[in-house]
């Protein structure tokens, strides 16, 4: 393996950019609120465009609104692209997404300034709408690049106020009627690298600055609608009620019960040595194999003196295997039937996402590990139970991810934080990995 070059990214420049970006959509309490389609999303797009241009990159916005900044290489072939997303969850943190975009910019700018002559084209990307958003389509930009979303699906999407997705994409500089040019293959992208916060506690507990991601979990989401009967809160006897909220609440608690049952079955089986040892990547914590959440919950009409007639909520299931996810969804379905019958309510379910787990590419993960080792930065392998754009890019080309520790494991909240020292180490690994991938001759 080549010796790493002693090239350091400009951490002052990085931090000043990060501070600027954190102000866009700031909630004033340490967090940001920058969902896709918001004014802050548009402001940050403008900021990134300026920054990419200042770095000498050729900037384009594709038809789904992904922002690309490219630098030609001495060879015209497929590019190495680094990046992530710049939108946030509602009232989220400053690091989830922008860290990877700003790191990409810093690495490419540093390589340029130190006179590095890239063989392959190099680029930065900020993907559109990675997080769940009012249009109920997450990882929208990377899924479209991977050919996993159709024009029909996208044109049919509206938010809760009836605003068409097409309009929000047009405001971001895209055009849903011209999506054919968005799709990329391994002839366009040689490799994709994403730096991201871990969003858990494993790196912090291990005292490590960096983690190499082995794979990204599958994610399944469904919308559940419970139709009961609205009625007077004072005069309707308990036996006459068809309370949609109580059925929904019972189902939400049922999700937790199913998970706890699963964990206790699993630990009994492990104690009895009836089960094979779990795969190495999941050994830290059995919950990393499967987890489920009711994260959105609404009742109608939502008034103190009316028995709720309608309850709508989401169930999200994540796991390391699609079969485990689907079998949990089936258990939930059986519970919904049982509770629906017992409470006299109609329960309907609609799947809005069913995404398989995705492994990261061996060449990229090996290169990340060897770059870290050459720089003497301790790192470990991790499986991700958070979803990422890299999972979709991995479906058609070499993709890899590097994680940095999240203080106290906090994410999707204003307390989200990562030490600048860890980021500085990660930038060094990313830069060295980019250099090594650029030098690789293989097309395998
Ligand atoms: O939902 C996720 O795991 C990611 O943060 N978008
Ligand atoms: Mn996120
Ligand atoms: Mn993210």
Per residue in 206-220, pLDDT (tens digit) is: 999 999 999 999 999
Q: Is residue 5 part of a domain?
A: no
Q: How far apart are CA 342 and CA 348, in angstroms?
A: 15
- What the block records as the tokens of 103 is 């790191």
pLDDT number for residue 185? 98
Mean pLDDT, range 190-205, rounded to an integer: 97
Q: Is residue 444 part of a domain?
A: no
Q: Is residue 194 part of a domain?
A: yes
Which ligand does the CA of 85 lie closest to? 3
Q: With bands split at pLDDT 50, 70 and 90, how would you rate the model's confidence at 283?
A: very low
Omega before residue 151 within 30° of 0, cis:
no
Around ion ligand 3, residues with a beta carbon closer than 5 Å are 96-97
Q: What is the pTM of this model?
A: 0.92
Mean pLDDT, range 278-288, rounded to an integer: 47
41-84: per-residue pLDDT in tens? 999 999 999 999 999 999 999 999 999 999 999 999 999 999 99
Q: CB of 387 closer than 6 A to ligand 1?
A: yes
pLDDT number for residue 125? 98
User: Looking at the structure, do residues 399 and 368 belong to the same domain, yes or no?
Assistant: yes
- Residue-number span of the structural domain to which 26 is assigned: 11-217+358-438
pLDDT number for residue 264? 86
Q: How far apart are CA 25 and CA 94, in angstroms?
A: 10
Q: How far is the CA of 405 from the centre of ligand 3 (A)?
A: 14
Q: Is residue 6 part of a domain?
A: no
136-190: per-residue pLDDT in tens? 999 999 999 999 999 999 999 999 999 999 999 999 999 999 999 999 999 999 9
Q: Is residue 239 part of a domain?
A: yes
Q: How far is the CA of 194 from the centre of ligand 3 (A)?
A: 10
What are the two backbone dihedrals, phi and then psi, of residue 272, each rounded to the nearest 5 degrees?
-85, 5
> CA torsion 282→284→287→288, rounded to 10°?
-40
339-377: per-residue pLDDT in tens? 999 999 999 999 999 999 999 999 999 999 999 999 999
Q: Of 90, 130, 200, which is best to mutate to test ligand 1, by the most ligand atoms within 8 angstroms of its C-beta?
A: 130
Contact 73, 397 (CB under 8 A): no
Q: Which atom of ligand 1 is nearest to the CA of 96?
A: 5
In the chain, helix, strand, coil percent, each to 5?
40, 25, 40
Contact 404, 84 (CB under 8 A): no
| pLDDT beyond 50 at 281 | no
Mean per-residue pLDDT over the chain, rounded: 94
Neighbours of 268 (CB within 10 A): 11
Q: Which atom of ligand 1 is nearest to the CA of 411?
A: 5
Q: Is residue 2 part of a domain?
A: no
Q: How far apart are CA 215 and CA 200, in angstroms?
A: 15
CATH (domain of 281): 3.30.70.360
Nearest one of 293, 292, 317, 299 to 248, comparing CA atoms: 299
Mean pLDDT, range 10-17, rounded to an integer: 97
Which ligand does the CA of 387 lie closest to? 1
User: Looking at the structure, do residues 149 and 206 belong to the same domain, yes or no?
Assistant: yes
Q: Which atom of ligand 1 is nearest to the CA of 412?
A: 5
Q: With bands split at pLDDT 50, 70 and 90, how would you rate the model's confidence at 5?
A: low
Q: How far is the CA of 320 from the centre of ligand 1 (A)?
A: 15
- State the burial class of residue 117 (Cβ atoms within 10 Å of its Cβ: 0-12, 13-18, 19+): exposed
Q: How far apart are CA 379 and CA 35, in angstroms?
A: 32
Q: How far is the CA of 405 from the centre of ligand 1 (A)?
A: 16
Q: Is residue 259 part of a domain?
A: yes
Angle at the Cα of 96 from the Cα atoms of 91 and 101, rounded to 5 degrees: 130
User: Looking at the structure, do residues 257 and 348 belong to the same domain, yes or no?
Assistant: yes
The set of residues, in sequence order, having a beta carbon less than 8 Å from that of 358 and lying 6+ positions away, is 215, 216, 218, 391, 392, 394, 395
Domain limit, last residue, from 340, 355, 370: 355
307-336: per-residue pLDDT in tens? 999 999 999 999 999 999 999 999 999 999
User: Looking at the structure, do residues 180 and 291 belong to the same domain, yes or no?
Assistant: no
Domain limit, last residue, from 355, 384, 409: 355
375-400: per-residue pLDDT in tens? 999 999 999 999 999 999 999 999 99
User: Looking at the structure, do residues 224 and 211 belong to the same domain, yes or no?
Assistant: no
Q: Is residue 3 part of a domain?
A: no
User: Looking at the structure, do residues 160 and 191 belong to the same domain, yes or no?
Assistant: yes
Q: CB of 62 closer than 6 A to ligand 1?
A: no
- What the block records as the tokens of 312 is 């709508």
Q: Of 131, 221, 352, which is best to mutate to test ligand 1, by the most ligand atoms within 8 angstroms of its C-beta?
A: 131
User: Looking at the structure, do residues 173 and 223 belong to the same domain, yes or no?
Assistant: no
User: Looking at the structure, do residues 269 and 414 belong to the same domain, yes or no?
Assistant: no
Q: With bands split at pLDDT 50, 70 and 90, how would you rate the model's confidence at 7?
A: confident
Q: How far is the CA of 334 from the centre of ligand 2 (A)?
A: 30
Domain limit, last residue, from 338, 355, 372: 355
Q: CB of 37 closer than 6 A to ligand 1?
A: no
Q: Which atom of ligand 1 is nearest to the CA of 199?
A: 5
Name the percent of the chain lying above pLDDT 90. Answer: 91
Q: How far is the CA of 96 from the centre of ligand 3 (A)?
A: 5
Count of domains forming the chain:
2
- What the block records as the tokens of 100 is 């990877």
Q: Which atom of ligand 1 is nearest to the CA of 131?
A: 6
Q: Of 35, 84, 89, 358, which is best to mutate to test ligand 1, by the most ligand atoms within 8 angstroms of its C-beta?
A: 89
User: Looking at the structure, do residues 117 and 96 belong to the same domain, yes or no?
Assistant: yes
User: Looking at the structure, do residues 303 and 157 belong to the same domain, yes or no?
Assistant: no
> Is the alpha carbon torsion for 128, 131, 136, 142 positive or negative?
positive
User: Looking at the structure, do residues 90 and 178 belong to the same domain, yes or no?
Assistant: yes
Q: How far apart are CA 139 and CA 149, in angstroms?
A: 10
pLDDT number for residue 3? 59
User: Looking at the structure, do residues 287 and 391 belong to the same domain, yes or no?
Assistant: no
CATH (domain of 52): 3.40.630.10
Chain centroid to Cα 193, Å, comes to 14
């Amino acid at each position: 393996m080549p010796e790493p070059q002693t090239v350091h990214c400009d951490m002052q420049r990085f931090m000043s950019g990060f501070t600027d970006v954190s102000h866009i959509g700031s909630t004033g309490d340490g967090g940001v609120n920058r969902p896709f389609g918001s004014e802050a999303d548009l402001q940050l797009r403008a900021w990134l465009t300026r920054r990419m241009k200042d770095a000498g990159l050729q900037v384009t916005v594709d038809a789904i609104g992904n922002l690309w900044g490219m630098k030609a290489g001495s060879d015209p072939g497929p590019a190495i692209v680094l990046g992530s997303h710049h939108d946030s969850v509602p009232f989220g943190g400053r690091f989830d997404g922008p860290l990877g975009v700003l790191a990409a910019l810093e690495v490419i700018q540093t390589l340029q300034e130190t006179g590095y002559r890239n063989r392959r084209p190099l680029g930065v990307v900020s993907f559109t709408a990675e997080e769940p958003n009012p249009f109920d389509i997450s990882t929208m930009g990377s899924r479209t690049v991977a050919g996993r979303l159709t024009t029909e699906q996208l044109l049919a999407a509206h938010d809760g106020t009836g605003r068409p997705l097409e309009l929000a994409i047009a405001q971001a500089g895209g055009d849903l009627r011209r999506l054919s040019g968005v799709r990329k293959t391994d002839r366009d992208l040689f490799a994709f690298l994403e730096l991201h916060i871990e969003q858990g506690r494993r790196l912090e507990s291990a005292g490590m600055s960096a983690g190499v991601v082995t794979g990204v979990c599958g994610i399944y989401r469904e919308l559940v609608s419970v139709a009961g009967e609205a009625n007077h809160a004072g005069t309707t006897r308990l036996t006459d009620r068809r309370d949609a909220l109580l059925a929904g609440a019972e189902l939400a608690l049922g999700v937790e019960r199913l998970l706890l049952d699963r964990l206790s079955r699993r630990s009994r089986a492990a104690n009895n040595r009836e089960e094979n040892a779990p795969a190495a990547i999941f050994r830290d914590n059995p919950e990393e194999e499967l987890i489920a959440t009711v994260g959105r919950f609404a009742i109608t009409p939502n008034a103190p003196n009316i028995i709720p007639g309608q309850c709508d909520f989401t169930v999200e299931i994540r796991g390391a295997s699609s079969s485990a996810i689907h079998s949990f969804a089936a258990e939930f379905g059986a519970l919904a039937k049982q509770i629906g019958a017992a409470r006299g309510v109609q329960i309907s379910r609609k799947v809005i996402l069913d995404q398989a787990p995705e492994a990261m590419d061996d060449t990229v993960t090996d290169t990340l590990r060897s770059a870290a080792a050459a720089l003497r930065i301790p790192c470990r392998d991790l499986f991700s139970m958070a979803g990422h754009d890299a999972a979709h890019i991995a479906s058609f080309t070499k993709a890899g991810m590097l994680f940095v520790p999240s203080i106290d494991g906090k994410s999707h909240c204003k307390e989200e934080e990562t030490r600048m020292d860890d980021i500085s180490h990660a930038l060094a690994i990313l830069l060295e990995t980019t250099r090594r991938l650029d030098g690789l001759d293989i097309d395998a």
